[in-house]
Amino acid sequence: MHGPVSEVIQFIDLNAYSIVFLFIVGFIGGLVSGFIGSGGAFVLTPGMMSLGVPGTVAVASNMCHKFPKALVGAIKRYKYGQVDIKLGLIMGLFAEIGVQAGVVLQRHILEKWGQAGSNLYVSFIFVLVLVVVGLFVMRDAVKMKNSVSEVPAPTLAKRLQQIELWPMLTFKTANLRISMWFLVPVALATGMLAATIAVGGFIGVPGLMYIIGATSIVASATELVIAFVMGLGGTLVWAYYGTVDIRLTMLILAGSLFGVQLGAIGTTYVKEYMIKYVMATIMLIVAVSRFFAIPRYLNELQVTSLSPGSVVIMNQLSFGIMCFALLVGAGIILVNLFKARSLEKSMVLQEG
Amino acid sequence: MGRKNTNSLPVTAAGENTGVGVASQSPRPRKTPFILVVTRHGHMGEPVMNYAVNVAERLKYAIFAVHVNTLPFFCDGGRRNRLFASAMEESTAQLMEMARAKGVLVEHLGESGKIGRVVKRLCHSERHIEFVIVDQGIAKEEVATQSPVPVFGVIYTSAKPGQIHTATHHITIKKGVSGMSTTSRKRHMKNCFVFGALTVGLYAAVFSSQSVVMTYFTKGGLYTILPVALVFAVSYVHGNFTSAFWSALGIEGSQATVKKEAEIRKEAPVAADIRKDTRPRAQVSV
């Protein structure tokens, strides 16, 4: 991922379609990222590639748009008192190490099993992580929604917080104290997943909630700081090799900064379980999408023998479902945001 | 903001300071407790005056009525200030009439500036203020944070003029279009236009010279700094623009949630238990 780019890079010519496409996808992605802390950018890389952008340029430009978006989202949510900067920076630092470890692992797999093997590994990890974590988060969200009393902090997080293992770290905004040794694995896993499937937040946010013990609001807000640190590190490497197409980055940013602000505003209106609910929904739909991408790699590895036509259809279906996941997430956020706003407005009118 | 004299007031005969009007002709006893009644309107709400006079009569307190002009430098050639002063005169005369009927002592003052600061200053002045009553239109939280004495609000509606409710702490939920003041919306509109123009300028500069930009921005090496610096600039300019854009449309974070979260965090102890001091101590029983 961060290796030297030897081939001559071809940058695309922009037209009205690609500009509008990038703006809209940027907006929807930003909306989801501002709300759940991450997960809004995974459609962009395949989306840009569908416009004819080379893979490396798509990944680099996507990475370059992620960190300013995360920065703006983090600042917005910091104003709402939701961000634990210290937690985010420490996690971000170790997550960056995780990214490098993930890159090494990817290279190793690439050397051993070739491109198709590597892709199969990525898709397999994608489906496994998204299904397991997504189902867990969804179960928790449903439990929270149906619960009349306040749901207690996760048992695992509570137990880990009680273990006094030097060095103990205190996080005021997240209102927790935990040993650094429990933070590091979560951060490394976040980084490794980011290097593998480009969305570290699918591990980072649940990790912060269920292992570290932060609330979903603080976890999703702090994830933006982690994404900023990781994104900045990644961008510096990609930009060093001259693979960032700044025009694409700016077009995505044009839409995503509108979205990230709105997503951040949305977190102040909805209940805690809603963040988990949106995240789990997106994760599970994306898992289905990746499932449809697996037959292509199995075919390339000659494990299966599907016709090229059905492989193409499955690929298109996979991309379509991925877009659908993002649209569903954005839809839930917008509907809940405006519903909660109108409810509060009517309450104000009644009081006045 | 400084004190504003009320020399134009009709009743100033027994005032101690310039600008203080007193209803009663007899000098007030040295330690008379006062109820501070504050309004930001030219005309104090009638239910507020009624309530203040009734409570003052029952408790045998005096009333210290204060009209605070919160926009003394409003740019309209002084028209607002003149209207405020004449409305204040009428309102004070009405209050004094009510108070005279019940035998309640009233002192009056016209002030300007921030209400919280005015209340704080007056509470620390020579008058013995027991509590504060604020008229509608004043954020009780703002006054309560600065006032050393309790603050009460009188809520009334024009539909039911006789109905008066008092509350020691009234939270006004301000959000979105319904709660945003004209000044803050103006500020957001201004920011929206300023940062919007800057964003358009930045994008126009990059896209009008695409070939030059792409040549230098993809050179790599030391030129790495160029794309990174540019996206930082975009995030600042465009980030401020998008923030002001949603605010100008009235789409802002729910203040109720934000305040509640801040309060919970403030009150909640840090998860870590503070180690108990087990050292022996000498204890004295009286």
DSSP state of B3: B
Given A71, A247, A262, which is nearest B235 (Cβ)? Answer: A71
B219 chain-A contacts, CB cut-off 8 A: 242
Of B114, B149, B172, which residue constitutes the final position of a domain? B172
Of B157, B172, B187, which residue constitutes the final position of a domain? B172
pLDDT bracket for residue A207 (50, 70, 90): very high
Residue B152's domain spans which residues?
A: 21-172
Res. B170: pLDDT tops 50? no
Is B108 found in the same domain as B244? no
| Touching A: B residues 207-226, CB under 8 Å | 207, 210, 213-214, 217-221, 223-224, 226
Is B152 found in the same domain as B207? no
Is B84 found in the same domain as B40? yes
In angstroms, what separates the C-alpha of A11 from chain B's closest C-alpha?
9
Residue A253, token pair as written in the block: 């940013």
The percent of residues in chain B predicted with pLDDT above 70, rounded, is 69
A177, A251, A268, best to mutate vs chain B, most B CBs in 10 Å:
A268
A269 chain-B contacts, CB cut-off 8 A: 253-254, 257
Q: Are B246 and A242 an interchain contact pair (Cβ–Cβ within 8 Å)?
A: no
Measured in whole angstroms, the distance separating CA A262 from the mean position of its chain's CA atoms is 17
Q: Which of A152-156, A200-204, B65-69 has the highest mean pLDDT?
A: B65-69
Q: Are B231 and A217 an interchain contact pair (Cβ–Cβ within 8 Å)?
A: no
B243 chain-A contacts, CB cut-off 8 A: 76, 261
Res. A39: pLDDT tops 80? no
Is B53 found in the same domain as B126? yes
Model ipTM?
0.87
Is B135 found in the same domain as B188? no
Q: Is the peptide bond before B269 cis (omega within 30 degrees of 0)?
A: no
B242 touches chain A (CB under 8 A): yes
In angstroms, what separates the C-alpha of A311 from chain B's closest C-alpha?
35
A172 chain-B contacts, CB cut-off 8 A: 265, 270
- What pTM was estimated for this model as a whole? 0.67
User: A67-88 pLDDT, tens per residue?
Assistant: 999 999 999 999 888 999 999 9
Predicted local confidence at residue A250, as pLDDT: 95
Q: How many CA atoms lie within 13 A of A226 on its CB side?
A: 43
User: A280-314 pLDDT, tens per residue?
Assistant: 999 899 888 888 888 888 887 778 888 888 888 98
For residue B210, being part of any structural domain is answered with yes
Is B258 found in the same domain as B130? no
Number of domains in chain B: 2
A81 chain-B contacts, CB cut-off 8 A: 258, 261-262, 265
